[in-house]
Structure 1
Amino acid sequence: MAELTHLDPEGRPQMVDVSAKAVTRRMAVAAGYLELDAPAAEALSRGGGPKGDPWSVARIGAVGGVKRTSDLIPLAHPLAIEAVEVAHHWDPATRRAWLRVSVSCEGRTGIEMEALAGVTVGLLVLYDMLKAVSHGMAVGPARLLRKEGGRRGTVTLPWEGCPWAP
């Protein structure tokens, strides 16, 4: 069984020492969705609500979430992010507004938390953009789809129903 790396021998939280790890290319892709009720779905289908275009603001929010991950997650290392790609997909049949965030850098530690933070913050921004119309929305789930680099190499995690392949 794998051990939790963020605990010291006494069980107290600690930031992992990554100084001995090799610098490698790191990449992670995460996705998630916001489930909308009928009024919010109608507003999104029309291109937005009283606050304007929700997709463009959600995409910017996702980038901000990636960049602020180490401020949000106490034991996450600050990373020099080199690229962030954000994609969105609207599925009117299921009333799910999907976001996908891909992040990459050269570093000593994984970048999965940045991808997940980007998706989650982007979905929260989408909620904020649509809440003037309705609060009948649910955030999540958000999941890691793919990671590359580091000790484990490439890991892919298929998600049935997700509009993107890992």
Structure 2
Amino acid sequence: MSTLSHINAQGEANMVDVSEKAITVREARAQAIVSMSPQTVALISTGGHHKGDVFAVARIAGIQAAKKCSDLIPLCHPLMLSKVQVDFELQQSLNQVVITSRCRLSGQTGVEMEALTAASVAALTLFDMCKAVDPAMVISDIKVLEKQGGKTGHWQAPKQD
């Protein structure tokens, strides 16, 4: 079993030294799901929300969050991201929005935390914009879907039924 990389020999929190790692192209995809009432789904799908385009605002929030990840997560390295993408899939039959994020860079450490932060903050923003009409929304299934680059190569989350 691997050891925790953010703990030093004395058991203290420690920022990992990545200076000896090779610079490689690294990419990660993550998701979050927001479940809501059929009325909220209809409001979003028709563009009838009084706050405007909730996806546009949540997309910008997710992108900004990925760029600020190291300010939010104490031991994350500040990264020079080359790509941040946030997408929304409105699944009307399931009364939910699936948010996916993608972060990419050429660097010495992975971008999983940035992708997770983008998806999470996009979900929180969508919740914030719709909470007045649907305070019972649920944010769930925040997870890494895929990562590439670095010494571990390509990894994908197992498919779920």
1:80 matches 2:76: no
- Shift of residue 159, structure 1, vs aligned partner: 4.1
Cα distance change on mapping 1:66 and 1:159 into 2, 3 Å:
farther
Partner residue of 2:134?
134
Does the CA contact (< 8 Å) of 1:52 and 1:129 recur in 2?
A: no
Does the CA contact (< 8 Å) of 1:87 and 1:100 recur in 2?
A: yes
Partner residue of 1:62?
62
Q: Secondary structure at the match of 1:93?
A: helix
For the residues of structure 1 that align with 2:49 and 2:11, how far apart are their CA atoms?
48
Q: Tell me, which stretches of 5 or more residues in structure 1 are unaligned?
A: 162-166
**After the TM superposition, which residues 87-98 of structure 1 pair with which residues of structure 2 at under 5 Å, given as runs?**
87-98=87-98
- Shift of residue 26, structure 1, vs aligned partner: 0.6
For the residues of structure 1 that align with 2:48 and 2:55, how far apart are their CA atoms?
8
- Shift of residue 65, structure 1, vs aligned partner: 1.1
Does the CA contact (< 8 Å) of 1:40 and 1:136 recur in 2?
A: no
- Shift of residue 140, structure 1, vs aligned partner: 1.7
For the residues of structure 1 that align with 2:85 and 2:139, how far apart are their CA atoms?
20
Q: Percent identity at matched positions?
A: 37
Does the CA contact (< 8 Å) of 1:43 and 1:130 recur in 2?
A: no
**After the TM superposition, which residues 114-153 of structure 1 pair with which residues of structure 2 at under 5 Å, given as runs?**
114-153=114-153
Does the CA contact (< 8 Å) of 1:87 and 1:101 recur in 2?
A: yes
For the residues of structure 2 that align with 1:158 and 1:92, how far apart are their CA atoms?
25
Partner residue of 1:52?
52
Q: Secondary structure at the match of 2:93?
A: coil
1:28 partner letter: A
Q: C-alpha deviations, 1:60-118, integer Å up to 9, x for none?
A: 11101111100110000000000112211000111111111111001101100000000
- Shift of residue 41, structure 1, vs aligned partner: 2.4
| Length-normalised TM-score, structure 2 | 0.94
Partner residue of 1:164?
none
For the residues of structure 2 that align with 1:10 and 1:140, how far apart are their CA atoms?
35
Does the CA contact (< 8 Å) of 1:30 and 1:115 recur in 2?
A: yes
For the residues of structure 2 that align with 1:49 and 1:67, how far apart are their CA atoms?
28
Does the CA contact (< 8 Å) of 2:67 and 2:114 recur in 1?
A: yes
Q: Tell me, which stretches of 5 or more residues in structure 2 are unaligned?
A: none
The alignment of Structure 1 onto Structure 2 pairs a total of residues equal to 161
Q: C-alpha deviations, 1:31-58, integer Å up to 9, x for none?
A: 1111112332232233242211111111
